[in-house]
Structure 1
Amino acid sequence: MRLGAVADDVTGACDLAGRVVEAGLPASVLLGVPVGAVDVFPSDGPGCAVVALKVRTAPVAEAVVASVGAARSLMSAGATQLYQKYCSTFDSTASGNIGPIADALADVIGATASVGTPATPGARRTQYQGTLFVDGVPLAESPMRDHPLTPMRDSDLVRLLAPQTAARVGLIRWEEVRRGASAVADRVDQAHMLVDALAEDDLDVIAEAVLRRSADRPVLAGGGAGVATALARAEVRAGDSAGASADAGAAALPAVPVTGRLILAGSASAATREQIAAFRGERHLLDPLELADGPRALGRLRDALAAREDNLAPVLVHASPDVTTAQRALGAGRAAAVLEHALSELAAFAVHELGCSHLLVAGGETSGAVTTRLGITRLQIGRQAAPGVPWAVATTTDAGASDAGGDRSGDPRTIAVLLKSGNFGERSLFTDAWEVAP
């Protein structure tokens, strides 16, 4: 099996790829829709390629065009199973983008049905009777209720997805999942089917149902990283696989000599706030209101990073936890934009002017901005620092030169990057992640 996944943001792409590597398949992440022919799958065995887009909150038409382009590129490269990766907390609005993308991707492969679930038990996301639970509570009672971009005020997935698509939306309940893959496969027809899952073996049943159903006619698989990981496990069980262990995948990564460690946190999620609070090293605060007032705030941070005597000790730059004040003053879009710009400029300055080798970035939008600013187009996925949070190795391009100037601006550099969803990782991640870095 060659699994081709279209992900709606970069941290979701890394989440999927990291878990697939741990399951035993080699994986890589492409940032943005590939241009021209791409060589993304192993020549002599199965593997996984993920295209990371930035379409979770993009206008529907724009999100669909990018997703279709990514899917066609993956299929042309040899993907045998297409996968739609969306957030395990079902981040969306009344108009999309999960439903419209599912419709479009199904059309690409000639499928009349899709099957999947956001459930990822390893990330404490489960689905039961159509209700999504986050850390044991219904979605609408979790911190996602007040997400600044996609507030989730309903926990019923069928009710959430139905307005986003003209296709029928159905539910396969947990009791049917326990009857086995044949029972699930029999329910997949002419609809977007959301499937209950409480544990990893439920995901294995869903993956087997996808494989059985797709043996007869195309079916779009989708959801969080859980079902994709189960598909990888099924492939590994089916026979010898190239890179069939997490250690093998990580060993393939080139070593990156440590010359600097920088943490950039743009997420306001509860998990990231806890990680910021637990970090005991040097830290600097970014205030969107101050950033919007002119370039002086960013200049002071550049100076502070350049003046550090111990670059090997991790340093944290993080957004103010008080997002509501900035959003009221600037608007949600403007507040997010100034933060993303500042954090991505600091990344370019640290890598190209200060020679920083290791970046840990928290937040999906922030990760997309940083990788774009550094001109990174591909991530080679390695060992996970936490479930769904893998390290990767990437090469910057001259598009990533810092606008601060300097002799090293524009020189391509090989760096280690960890791009994490705001909600992922243990409290001590900002301290512990470096222990398994390439």
Structure 2
Amino acid sequence: MMLIGVIADDFTGASDIANTLAKGVAPEGGLRTAQFPGIPTAAVSPEIEAGVISLKSRSAPVKEAVSESLDALKWLLDQGCQQIIFKYCSTFDSTPAGNIGPVADALADALNVSGVVVCPAFPGTGRTIYQGHLFVGDVLLNESGMQNHPLTPMTDPDIRRCLGRQTHHDVAHVALATVAQGGAPLRSAFEQETSRYVVADAVSDADLLRLGEALSSAKLITGGSGIALGLPRNMIRAGAKGAASGVLTNVTGPEAILAGSCSGATRGQVDQHALDHPTLAIDVEAVMRGEMGEETLVAFYDAHMGQAPLAYSSGTPDAVRAVQQKFGREAVAARLDRLFAETARQLVQKGYQRIVVAGGETSGAVAQAIAETLGAPAMVVGAEIDPGVPVLTLGNDTPVALALKSGNFGAPDFFVKALRAMEGQV
């Protein structure tokens, strides 16, 4: 029976938390976890103990994001979930109008809960919260490059203020000193809280494990994937079977890499990959004028099969702003999503079996297109490539291996590492 249900606001975040739940911590390990591209229409296999629904609600209109999240909640509750996690990015990507606050409000109302933890911390990738402020490495969020995000620029590192602009409910804070006590003092801090939300400090995995233990009976939890670190242990100690994680895949078919993220990390990874692999820079203006389409990308991949070819639309913040101002932000995003989705669909139809994707919106478009093409909605979580990014597989006879990478995640050589992991070379 499914015990933990996750509503993720994008596909890379869904992979991230699915990896966390499947891996767990020693000695207990993780839960048998499946990731779903969108809300399933049928009941889940009884062997699945944690289910992650991948939505594209991070940048959707608020009403749409709320409606989809409530539909996902209903399906998860119907599967027997005892605990719901609303998973958003570890950089709290949202605008003053939403979507984190409105979705959290709707879920909390539906579950009739208060004292809901808010913790996007993920120390393994450098995201920490101290005194309610979100850090990326050793700098505040608004100095990390996220202030230049093309869709959700983050200009305030105070999570209390960020969330406070998105909800009419009170936002409280549990400081690191309380979190460090763990046990009864920390549990009591949440149980006695009358505010709707509580931002919790966390600067290490040990803090996340303390939070996980204190939240063992919480009906609703919100945060980045790190907040799920200790939750499988709670369930296994309570009788869940659990399962070994990190199962290696063995997919060796043709490969393609698609990068739609404009983050500094992804741009660096593209530059590193281009040193000894074929790359294609997508001319976004040409795409918007109808002069460049999926046939160009597919021809590029076919011409360089076996060489780890990479096509990318990643650009500098100034270049991205210029294109958005000329054609409109939403129009550019939608057209690139269609380009990457249709390219992926055609590649899978031609027999490509290893697909690496960078960027949340790009990953969502690609994963949905591939799932629809294969008719295989459940994605099996495999070995971890880099922190927060597992190998996912779809299909049975000729499986397709996917890696869905958030823009800021991964080592400089991530793309090559991902393709090797798909072949079982982790």
Matches within 5 A, 1:22-37: 22-23=23-24, 24-35=30-41, 37=42
Contact 1:275 1:428 in 2 (8 A): yes
Moved over 6 A (4+): none
Counterpart residue identity of residue 48, structure 1: A
Q: CA shift at 1:236, angstroms?
A: 4.3
Contact 1:106 1:219 in 2 (8 A): no
Q: CA shift at 1:171, angstroms?
A: 0.5
Contact 2:356 2:419 in 1 (8 A): no
Q: Which residue of 1 aligns with 2:43?
A: 38
Contact 2:261 2:314 in 1 (8 A): no
Aligned counterparts of 2:3 and 2:219: Cα–Cα separation in 1: 15
1:303 aligned onto 2:324: no
Pair 1:146–1:436, CA change in 2 (3 A): same
- TM-score, normalised by the number of residues in structure 2: 0.90
Matches within 5 A, 1:317-396: 317-321=311-315, 322-353=319-350, 355-374=351-370, 375=372, 377-395=377-395
Identity over aligned pairs, percent:
38
Aligned counterparts of 2:145 and 2:381: Cα–Cα separation in 1: 29
Q: Which residue of 2 aligns with 1:199?
A: 204
Aligned counterparts of 1:327 and 1:3: Cα–Cα separation in 2: 39
Contact 1:10 1:368 in 2 (8 A): yes
Counterpart residue identity of residue 164, structure 2: A
Matches within 5 A, 1:132-143: 132-143=134-145
- TM-score, normalised by the number of residues in structure 1: 0.88
Contact 2:294 2:340 in 1 (8 A): no
Greater alpha carbon shift after TM alignment, 157-166 vs 341-350: 341-350
1:259 aligned onto 2:259: no
Q: Alpha carbon RMSD of aligned pairs, Å? A: 2.0
The gaps in structure 1 that reach 5 residues or longer are 397-411
1:416 aligned onto 2:392: no
Contact 1:15 1:225 in 2 (8 A): yes
Counterpart residue identity of residue 176, structure 2: W
The gaps in structure 2 that reach 5 residues or longer are 25-29
Q: Which residue of 1 aligns with 2:266?
A: 272
Pair 1:373–1:365, CA change in 2 (3 A): same
Aligned counterparts of 2:240 and 2:361: Cα–Cα separation in 1: 37
1:127 is paired with a residue whose SS is: strand
Aligned counterparts of 2:3 and 2:225: Cα–Cα separation in 1: 16
Contact 1:260 1:313 in 2 (8 A): no
Q: CA shift at 1:435, angstroms?
A: 2.3
Q: CA shift at 1:27, angstroms?
A: 1.0
Counterpart residue identity of residue 409, structure 2: F
1:381 is paired with a residue whose SS is: strand
Greater alpha carbon shift after TM alignment, 321-330 vs 142-151: 321-330
Tell me the matched-pair count. Answer: 405
Q: Which residue of 2 aligns with 1:316?
A: 310
Aligned counterparts of 2:148 and 2:20: Cα–Cα separation in 1: 28
Q: Which residue of 1 aligns with 2:90?
A: 88
Matches within 5 A, 1:113-128: 113-128=115-130
Counterpart residue identity of residue 357, structure 1: Q
2:231 is paired with a residue whose SS is: helix
Q: Select 1:427's aligned residue among 408, 412, 417.
A: 412
Contact 2:131 2:175 in 1 (8 A): yes
Q: Which residue of 1 aligns with 2:174?
A: 172
Greater alpha carbon shift after TM alignment, 339-348 vs 265-274: 339-348
